[in-house]
A and B are shown apart, each in its own frame.
Chain A
Amino acid sequence: MTRTARAVVPARATVSLARIEAGRLLRHPLVVLAAAFAVAVWVGEYVSGAAVSEYPILSVADRGTQYALLPLAAATLLAGNAATLRAHRHGTTAQYDVLALAPWRRTAAHLWSVVPVSVLAAALAGLHLAQLGLSGAAASRADWAEVATGPALVLLGGLAGVLLGTVVRSAVAAPLSLVLLAVVTFVLVTPSSRLSVRPVRWWGPVALEATSGQPLPAALQGRPAGWHLVYLLGFSVLAAGLALGRRAPRMPVAVGVAVGVLLAGLGGVLQLRPPGAGLIEARITATERPSEQQTCTAAGGVRYCAFPGFTGRTADWRPVVEGVLRWVPVDRRPAELTVRQRVLAEGRPGAGGGAVVAPVEAWRIDDARAGTPDPVPVGTDWGTGRAEADLAVAVADRVTRAGPGRPCGSRAGVVLWLASRSAPRADEGLRTAVASSTNGVLLTPADVGISVFLEPRAVQLGSSLQDRPEREVAAALARHWVELTAPGTTVERAAHLFGVPAPAPLDAGFTGC
């Protein structure tokens, strides 16, 4: 055999073996089940018409792929470990060790065999995001590093399984390691955990955003997904280098281990860096002076202002807004109405404390400067029912408001009815909110620290109106608009004007508005 053939033939054999092992890994029941699980989750969301599928925010959906692929990463770890231990488990090591292909090349083949599973994970995640992106209702944009994290986790899982198989000749080592990793991950990502809001949560395989607010536009997220990917790839290279061990050619292994340590260390440290000044400034601007970042479009006499990536959502907001306005007498409609998207970037990880406080004064100044006084807030979520209900109530509140003060008495009942008649999904969201409340209904448009509370008796009035024919209620509303929306009009008077029974008195101790 020539010198060249000596080098090429074992490499080709390694590739051939990797192909065989990859095929077996891809057909491993655990891997098949875990891949099917990820697909089932996404298909389930699509079939059930869940908001995350119908109105996806790609900058949230991208990291969502990581969680769906976690079982596949775990399965690849177990399957890769089992494949590596196969020769030991079945007593073929003595035979294999005297064959031409060196043991370290067999290990290399096991390492390579993980790559197709990772590619499968990437394909699944990519297809899922492509399907969401092509749906037409998608907002924002995906971060490729977030999308690549899931497949990287699958790769790391498989390589770690192979490493375990070469270090510990026991089938229980991999499941035990997985349990340990699950516990660490649970501590790092569980919202109730103190660590979950700290940067160290990025040392786990995946990092959740432990906030209750609505998603931020992609440019404001500031998740160090790229460095996290480097961190995971560093561990992958390190695992591969260590698995090849001492019997492989020293130099490549040493270089691999060094590169792995470097990448894992670099990514591990840099992913903990706080957001830069530019990002913080952009978040503050988005929160307090959104008009500087938003694009506004006019439709049907209403201006819709949205953050970059969300301008397509105005077409979804419009039916709800116009669904409220159509019940308002023409001469009572506001001369100018603006729907403005709001986010509350402050209080998010990396941007300071956790309090959710609406910067009302900053908004007032910003809106005055933009020529859009008293706009109706809308968030980034859509398709949840609750988001539609929030917008409808906010619009109804805005168009029935004759002066300062929250909706109360008769006006609150009118707000509820207007909102429920705006669009089917808003009605559905309101009914769900009413059904899950006991003393009135609290709505929080855009989740930016402002709320609209509808007192219990107004809710009762609104519910009574919902059961009446639309035309009757609309006619009464048109006839008595001024009185029904006046701040001092009681629910008893409103019930009388609408011709419905007056709501029952409140229990002792509850004063209503």
Chain B
Amino acid sequence: MTDSTVRLTDVIVDYGRHRALDGVSLAFGTGVTGLLGPNGAGKTTLLRVVATALEPSAGAVDVLGLDPRAPAGRLSVRRRLGYVPQEPGFHPGFTAFQFLDYVAILKELTDRRRRHQEVRRVLDAVDLMDVRGKRIKSLSGGMRRRVAVGAALLGDPDLLVMDEPTAGLDPEQRLRFREFLGELGERHTVLLSTHQTEDVMSLCRRVVVLHGGRVRFEGDPAGLAAVAAGNVWSSPEKPPAALVSWRTGSGGFRNVGRPPDGAAVLEPSLEDGYMLLLGGPDADGRSR
């Protein structure tokens, strides 16, 4: 854990009387780390803390070896950070190039020639070179999201924080985006939140499951799948004891929970482990 890019220790974030993060401790370094969790689990709050957009109510945060609570540390972190919020904003009257050029200035890329080179590099990376002269209001939702990702990539940041970057992308775009993120993760630290377990499975070196403001799991995707080892089985009928069960293409049911004796136990997937975590008595006591 000594080479961790980001280290959170007992981080608490309160919004008035609501506790969004409740003693979160985790650490991650180079590679793609996926943040899974249901709505309201605290994913966006955690990302905002890491992105220096939000100061925690308590606990310690170390990003890139710096303390973001101190103004100098915060500025240094921001100089090495790329952030894609959950709902990124755009200036619809700007072209893709103008918007990225504008953001590049806000990232202190002051030399005009180099800045434009960087903007072109990023446009190429997010496959928007052909539409660089189009106003953002005329771009599709997927293209706009790529503009937002491009903005985060400007300056080749050491740390990328992305809040549901694949939302709104069609399957082809999502696959291309995974490929792109995978390459990024080879050299950078990427923290992304998602609802897509496939994204995590195919991209992430590490996965963190948040629920109710607490870390329910931290490890690799295989480890998350292993959580459900021995707790996934198939049956011809829907068993009442299963936490989650659904009909599969073969006509039978795939069930997650405590299998009955003699059940046909199946190889668990990451999604099974995730479901078991959220639906189990250790999560919030509710059954799914």
Residues of A within 8 A of B (CB): 1, 9-10, 12-13, 15-17, 20, 86-87, 90-102, 106
User: B89-116, CB under 8 A of A: which get 1 and which 0?
Assistant: 1111000000001110111111010010
Which one of B53, B76, B103, B108 contacts A94 once the chains associate, using CB atoms below 8 Å? B53
In the bound assembly, the distance between CA atoms of A179 and B89 in angstroms comes to: 31
Closest A residue by C-beta to B76:
A1
- Asked if residues A13 and B108 are in contact (CB atoms below 8 Å), the reply is yes
In the bound assembly, the distance between CA atoms of A86 and B102 in angstroms comes to: 13
Chain A residues with CB under 8 A of B76: 1
In the bound assembly, the distance between CA atoms of A106 and B148 in angstroms comes to: 20
Stretch of B14-22, B80-88, B195-203 at the chain-chain interface: B80-88
- Asked if residues A101 and B105 are in contact (CB atoms below 8 Å), the reply is yes
Check: B52 CB closer than 8 A to any chain A CB: yes
Chain B residues with CB under 8 A of A13: 105-106, 108-110
30 example contacts (A-B, Cβ-Cβ < 8 A) are as follows A12-B108, A12-B110, A13-B106, A16-B105, A16-B110, A16-B112, A16-B115, A20-B105, A86-B91, A90-B91, A91-B87, A91-B88, A92-B89, A92-B90, A94-B89, A95-B83, A95-B85, A95-B89, A95-B103, A96-B103, A96-B106, A98-B53, A98-B81, A99-B106, A99-B107, A100-B75, A100-B107, A101-B107, A102-B75, A106-B106
Identify whether the interface residues of A are mostly helix, strand, loop, or mixed: helix
Chain B residues with CB under 8 A of A10: 108
Which one of A1, A9, A90, A98 contacts B83 once the chains associate, using CB atoms below 8 Å? A98
- Asked if residues A9 and B108 are in contact (CB atoms below 8 Å), the reply is yes
Closest B residue by C-beta to A105:
B106
Check: B151 CB closer than 8 A to any chain A CB: yes
- Closest beta carbon of chain A to B108's beta carbon, Å: 4
Q: Which of A20, A91, A97, A98 has the most CB of B within 10 A?
A: A98
- Asked if residues A101 and B81 are in contact (CB atoms below 8 Å), the reply is no
- Closest beta carbon of chain B to A83's beta carbon, Å: 10
Q: Which chain B residues numbered 43 to 68 have a C-beta less than 8 Å away from chain A? A: 51-53
Closest A residue by C-beta to B110:
A12
Check: B78 CB closer than 8 A to any chain A CB: yes
In the bound assembly, the distance between CA atoms of A102 and B102 in angstroms comes to: 14
- Asked if residues B106 and A101 are in contact (CB atoms below 8 Å), the reply is yes
- Asked if residues A20 and B51 are in contact (CB atoms below 8 Å), the reply is no
Check: B79 CB closer than 8 A to any chain A CB: yes
- Asked if residues A91 and B105 are in contact (CB atoms below 8 Å), the reply is no
Which one of B79, B81, B92 contacts A90 once the chains associate, using CB atoms below 8 Å? B92
Chain B residues with CB under 8 A of A93: 89
Chain B residues with CB under 8 A of A20: 101-102, 105
Chain A residues with CB under 8 A of B85: 94-95
- Asked if residues A98 and B52 are in contact (CB atoms below 8 Å), the reply is yes
- Closest beta carbon of chain A to B88's beta carbon, Å: 6
Residues of B within 8 A of A (CB): 51-53, 75-76, 78-79, 81, 83, 85, 87-92, 101-103, 105-110, 112, 115, 148, 151
Chain A residues with CB under 8 A of B106: 13, 17, 96, 99-101, 106
The 9 closest A-B pairs by CB, nearest first: A91-B89, A92-B89, A12-B110, A99-B106, A13-B108, A101-B106, A100-B108, A100-B79, A16-B105
- Closest beta carbon of chain A to B159's beta carbon, Å: 11
- Closest beta carbon of chain B to A467's beta carbon, Å: 65
In the bound assembly, the distance between CA atoms of A315 and B104 in angstroms comes to: 63
Which one of B51, B89, B91, B148 contacts A98 once the chains associate, using CB atoms below 8 Å? B51
- Closest beta carbon of chain A to B101's beta carbon, Å: 8
Closest A residue by C-beta to B154:
A99
- Closest beta carbon of chain A to B153's beta carbon, Å: 13
A92-B88, A99-B106 known; 10 other A-B pairs, CB under 8 Å? A1-B79, A9-B110, A12-B108, A13-B105, A13-B106, A13-B108, A17-B106, A92-B90, A95-B151, A99-B78
Chain A residues with CB under 8 A of B79: 1, 100
Chain B residues with CB under 8 A of A92: 88-91
Closest A residue by C-beta to B78:
A100
Closest B residue by C-beta to A92:
B89
In the bound assembly, the distance between CA atoms of A336 and B75 in angstroms comes to: 86
Chain B residues with CB under 8 A of A86: 91
Chain B residues with CB under 8 A of A12: 108, 110
In the bound assembly, the distance between CA atoms of A94 and B152 in angstroms comes to: 13
In the bound assembly, the distance between CA atoms of A91 and B89 in angstroms comes to: 5
- Closest beta carbon of chain B to A404's beta carbon, Å: 76
Closest B residue by C-beta to A15:
B110
In the bound assembly, the distance between CA atoms of A98 and B55 in angstroms comes to: 12
In the bound assembly, the distance between CA atoms of A102 and B87 in angstroms comes to: 21
Closest A residue by C-beta to B68:
A98
Chain B residues with CB under 8 A of A98: 51-53, 78, 81, 83
In the bound assembly, the distance between CA atoms of A87 and B92 in angstroms comes to: 11
- Asked if residues B78 and A95 are in contact (CB atoms below 8 Å), the reply is no
In the bound assembly, the distance between CA atoms of A106 and B78 in angstroms comes to: 15
In the bound assembly, the distance between CA atoms of A98 and B54 in angstroms comes to: 10
In the bound assembly, the distance between CA atoms of A95 and B112 in angstroms comes to: 22
In the bound assembly, the distance between CA atoms of A344 and B151 in angstroms comes to: 68
- Closest beta carbon of chain B to A27's beta carbon, Å: 11
Chain A residues with CB under 8 A of B110: 9, 12-13, 15-16
Using A13-B108, A13-B110, A16-B110 as known contacts, say yes or no to A99 and B103 having CB atoms under 8 A apart. Answer: yes
Chain B residues with CB under 8 A of A87: 89
Chain B residues with CB under 8 A of A95: 83, 85, 88-89, 103, 148, 151
- Asked if residues B105 and A97 are in contact (CB atoms below 8 Å), the reply is no
In the bound assembly, the distance between CA atoms of A93 and B106 in angstroms comes to: 12
In the bound assembly, the distance between CA atoms of A102 and B71 in angstroms comes to: 11
Chain B residues with CB under 8 A of A101: 105-108
Q: Which of B85, B112, B115 has the most CB of A within 10 A?
A: B85
In the bound assembly, the distance between CA atoms of A403 and B81 in angstroms comes to: 96
In the bound assembly, the distance between CA atoms of A91 and B151 in angstroms comes to: 15
Chain B residues with CB under 8 A of A9: 108, 110
In the bound assembly, the distance between CA atoms of A100 and B109 in angstroms comes to: 10
In the bound assembly, the distance between CA atoms of A97 and B103 in angstroms comes to: 11
In the bound assembly, the distance between CA atoms of A4 and B115 in angstroms comes to: 21
In the bound assembly, the distance between CA atoms of A106 and B103 in angstroms comes to: 11
In the bound assembly, the distance between CA atoms of A93 and B88 in angstroms comes to: 9
- Asked if residues A90 and B90 are in contact (CB atoms below 8 Å), the reply is yes
Chain A residues with CB under 8 A of B107: 99-101
Q: Which of A9, A10, A101, A106 has the most CB of B within 10 A?
A: A101
Chain A residues with CB under 8 A of B53: 94, 97-98
In the bound assembly, the distance between CA atoms of A99 and B91 in angstroms comes to: 16
Chain B residues with CB under 8 A of A1: 76, 79
In the bound assembly, the distance between CA atoms of A442 and B248 in angstroms comes to: 105
Chain A residues with CB under 8 A of B88: 91-92, 95
Closest B residue by C-beta to A96:
B106
- Closest beta carbon of chain B to A180's beta carbon, Å: 29
In the bound assembly, the distance between CA atoms of A87 and B102 in angstroms comes to: 12
